[in-house]
């Protein structure tokens, strides 16, 4: 995990080349800056340490270039860090043309489609959720060839460029774990040719895209039915 401390904020970045997550703690948000600097700390070690700390505040200090001391009032840990220059350069610049919606709407879109994705890597395009955007229409679909989930959403603002992308299902599952905000807050989706960046609160979440053409699923849904049945949701669920 890369820690970048400037005079105004602490930027924390982690990546496995498939997913990149970056968050910011601004000065004044329970952050006291003694001096600036950059360091990379092995994620497993810093997580294990923080889980065991019970204090309200944690102090992180770099000694002798890459030696790290992490301490509270009654605990102290020493670690070897890594030069921040060895961390790969990751472009998290946002796009001027993006999609915005409430977090509650986005969670509904993903949770009601993501489950239908395939687990078979032989057809890699089916292991992701297909998102199509045209004007102010957004459509999410997922299928594993046996079942199909389709969800539509009307955007409050039209986009300049249409989009047809496939986001890996497992990456969206990780994103959902971070979406614990209230329904009123919004999430932005910034689209690129080979990646997508989600921006919400003080977090940037970048995911790679799956290359390929998603099958046309519109023809799979019948336009007419033999009959329509209306029943109580709770009774049907039980």
- Between 106 and 222, name the one with better pLDDT: 106
- pLDDT mean over 76-88: 92
Residue 37 structure tokens: 């600097």
| pLDDT value at residue 206 | 98
Residues 98-130 pLDDT 10s? 999 999 999 999 999 999 999 999 999 999 999
pLDDT bucket at 161, cuts 50 / 70 / 90: confident
182, pLDDT greater than 70:
no
Distance separating alpha carbons of residues 59 and 36, to the nearest angstrom? 14
| pLDDT value at residue 64 | 82
Pairing of strands 67-71, 59-63: antiparallel
Residues 140-150 pLDDT 10s? 999 999 999 99
Residues 14-34 pLDDT 10s? 999 999 999 999 988 788 888
Taking phi over 0 as left and psi of -120 to 50 as alpha, with beta for the rest, 110 belongs to alpha
Mean pLDDT for the chain overall:
92
CA dihedral sign, ordered 200, 20, 114, 179: negative
pLDDT bucket at 74, cuts 50 / 70 / 90: confident
Residue position matching structure tokens 């009959």: 227
| pLDDT value at residue 223 | 85
193, pLDDT greater than 80:
yes
Distance separating alpha carbons of residues 78 and 67, to the nearest angstrom? 7
Residues 41-70 pLDDT 10s? 999 999 999 888 888 888 999 988 889 999
| pLDDT value at residue 183 | 58
Nearest to 96 by CA among 197, 22, 203: 197
User: pTM of the full predicted structure?
Assistant: 0.90
Alpha helical stretches, state H, 114-225: 169-178
The Cα angle at residue 129 between residues 137 and 92, in degrees rounded to 5: 85
- pLDDT mean over 148-164: 92
What percent of the chain has pLDDT above 70? 99
């Amino acid at each position: 995990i890369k820690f970048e401390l400037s005079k105004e904020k602490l930027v924390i970045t982690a990546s496995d080349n498939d997913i990149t997550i970056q968050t910011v703690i601004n000065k004044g948000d329970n952050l006291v800056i003694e001096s600036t600097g950059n360091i990379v700390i092995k994620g497993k070690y810093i997580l294990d340490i923080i889980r065991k700390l019970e204090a309200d505040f944690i102090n992180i200090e770099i000694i002798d270039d890459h030696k790290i001391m992490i301490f509270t009032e009654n605990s102290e840990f020493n670690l070897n860090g890594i030069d921040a220059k060895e961390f790969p350069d990751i472009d998290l610049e946002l796009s001027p043309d993006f999609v915005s919606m409430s977090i509650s709407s986005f969670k509904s879109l993903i949770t009601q489609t993501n489950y239908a994705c395939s687990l078979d890597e032989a057809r890699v395009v089916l292991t992701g959720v297909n998102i199509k955007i045209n004007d102010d229409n957004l459509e999410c679909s997922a299928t594993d060839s046996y079942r199909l989930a389709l969800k539509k959403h009307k955007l409050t603002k039209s986009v300049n460029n249409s989009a047809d992308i496939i986001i890996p299902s497992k990456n969206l599952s990780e994103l959902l774990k971070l979406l614990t905000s209230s329904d009123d807050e919004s999430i932005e989706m910034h689209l690129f040719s080979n990646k997508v960046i989600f921006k919400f609160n003080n977090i940037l979440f970048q995911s790679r895209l799956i290359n390929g053409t998603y099958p046309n699923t519109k023809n799979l849904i019948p336009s007419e039915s033999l009959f329509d049945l209306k029943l109580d949701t709770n009774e049907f669920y039980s």
